[in-house]
Structure 1
Amino acid sequence: MSETRNLLAEQRRALILDEVRRRGGVRVNELTRRLRVSDMTVRRDLDALARQGVVEKVHGGAVPVAEATTHEPGFEAKSVLEPDAKQDIARAAAGMVAPGSAIALAGGTTAYALAQQLLEIPDLTVVTNSVRVAEVFHGARRAAGGGAAAPRPGAATVVLTGGVRTPSDTLVGPVADAAIRSLHFDVLFIGVHGISAEAGLSTPNLAEAETNRHFVRSARRVVVVADHTKWGTVGLSSFATLDEVDALVTDGGLPAAARAEIAERLPRLVVAESGPGTAEF
């Protein structure tokens, strides 16, 4: 953790959380040296992470929280986790989208990052159950001066399903399920709470799991967009096996052993590195 003196609070907290997860715990005095900030700043950061429910404060430092399989963080809490990795993943995933495609974007902060990368790809039809993803496209339309009756040439056609809103600003339930069942997508990009060899793709929200099942069934190709911390995590309900996944786009933090295991099970593994580089397995 070098060159960290001028980091924004959210960036600094993301680094702290990554260190906690990677090492199984950190001490305040270690963080002050590595981040080159005051003891009080580190303690405020740990307080903020503890309020988000992602670390547990202990005497002199913090340790990871052993989350229940039903724990579902909100969108804002998740948005500060692994932000650089999500941007790398989004850029790599956007390269898999052809102009004129009909795509589905399921909810989550990585899908939100991907939506921002898709704004310049022309003539897309985007179906999403994410309020945040829909706002990305509608915000771009307003910024360009177009309205519902007069979108700019090549602007995406966006379909937002109805449904019941989850803590992650995703719409789920029977209304969303019915809309998705009637459609057919060239490719689905889906984020996950957890992915593992045994449990496949999983989420802590039962209704979201059912809606995700319909997304998977309605897509010709399924691409999972998930940072390295999701590997080995298991939520309450599985909604797809790895056999149903065509590709995983993840970041360079994924350990070599996990890369080898995933590459054996999936047709395509894309590891997005910071900058222009990606690696495929």
Structure 2
Amino acid sequence: FYNGAEIETLGNGIVDTIRQFHVDHAFLTVGAVNATQGFMDYRVEVAEINRTMLKQARRATVLIDSSKFDQMALVTASSLEAIERIVTDSPPSDYLTSALNEAGTQIHIANGLPK
């Protein structure tokens, strides 16, 4: 179904469509990340879309702002190990950084637009 308020399409139809794709790199967003549960979202449908995209991609990057670090959400979208890198605005806590490093997930801090 299409959610005009959030400008998104969710549901089995979109999951079936994504299963037809084979991509080199998926860029995902999530609602939260923590060292024990991994990357999470507040909506089951969004987590399912992310899981499906991960299965169809060779590599995955999560774009996430630092307010979502060390937080919990309703459902796990992926393990830390499933994500090659995160791009964020500030470094994670030492605990989360350690977990990401152990999982092999690279951390890239975006420093604004190039001049």
TM-score (norm 2): 0.85
User: Is it true that 1:240 corresponds to 2:78 in the alignment?
Assistant: yes
Find the residue that maps to 2:59 and give its secondary structure. Answer: strand
Q: Distance in 2 between matches of 1:249 and 1:179?
A: 26
Which residue is equivalent to 1:225?
63
Distance 1:208 1:167, change over 3 A: farther
Consecutive unaligned residues in structure 1, runs of 5 or more: 1-162, 277-281
CA 256–230 in structure 1, closer or farther in 2 if over 3 Å, else same? closer
Could you say if the C-alpha distance between residues 232 and 267 of structure 1 is closer, same or farther in structure 2, counting changes exceeding 3 Å? closer
Map 1:55-94 → 2, pairs under 5 A:
none
> Which structure is larger by alpha-carbon Rg, 1 or 2?
1
How has the CA–CA distance of structure 1 residues 178 and 263 changed in structure 2, closer, same or farther, with 3 Å as cutoff?
A: same
Q: Which of the pair is proportionally richer in helix?
A: 1
- Unpaired runs of 5+ in structure 2? none
How far residue 241 of structure 1 moved from its aligned partner, in angstroms, is: 0.6
Report the alpha carbon displacement of residue 267 of structure 1 after superposing the two structures with TM. Answer: 3.7
- What is the CA–CA distance in structure 2 between the aligned matches of 1:166 and 1:193, rounded to whole Å? 19
Normalising to structure 1: TM-score of the pair?
0.37
1:248 deviates by 0.8
Identity %, equivalent residues? 25
* Structure 2 match to 1:185: 23
1:240-279 equivalent positions in 2, closer than 5 A: 240-252=78-90, 254-255=91-92, 257=94, 258-274=96-112, 276=114
Structure 1 runs of 4+ aligned residues shifted over 6 Å read: none
Q: Name the SS for the 2:81 alignment partner.
A: helix
The Cα of 1:169 is off from its aligned counterpart by 2.2
Shift of residue 259 of structure 1?
3.3
Which of 189, 206, 209 aligns to 2:44? It is 206
Offset of 1:275 from its aligned partner? 5.1
Task: Output the CA distance in 1 between the equivalents of 2:19 and 2:4.
Answer: 20
* Aligned equivalent of 1:45: none
RMSD: 1.9
Match of 1:171 in 2: 9
Whether the 8 Å contact between 1:166 and 1:172 is mirrored in structure 2 is no
The residue correspondences of 1:30-109 to structure 2 (distance < 5 A) are none
Work out which structure has the larger RCO, using CA pairs closer than 8 Å and 6 or more positions apart in sequence: 2
Residue type of the alignment partner of 1:240: S
Instruction: Give the length in aligned residue pairs.
Output: 113
Rounded Cα–Cα distance in structure 2 between residues aligned with 1:213 and 1:167:
23
Q: CA–CA distance in 1 between the matches of 2:25 and 2:92?
A: 27
Distance in 2 of aligned mates of 1:255 and 1:201: 13
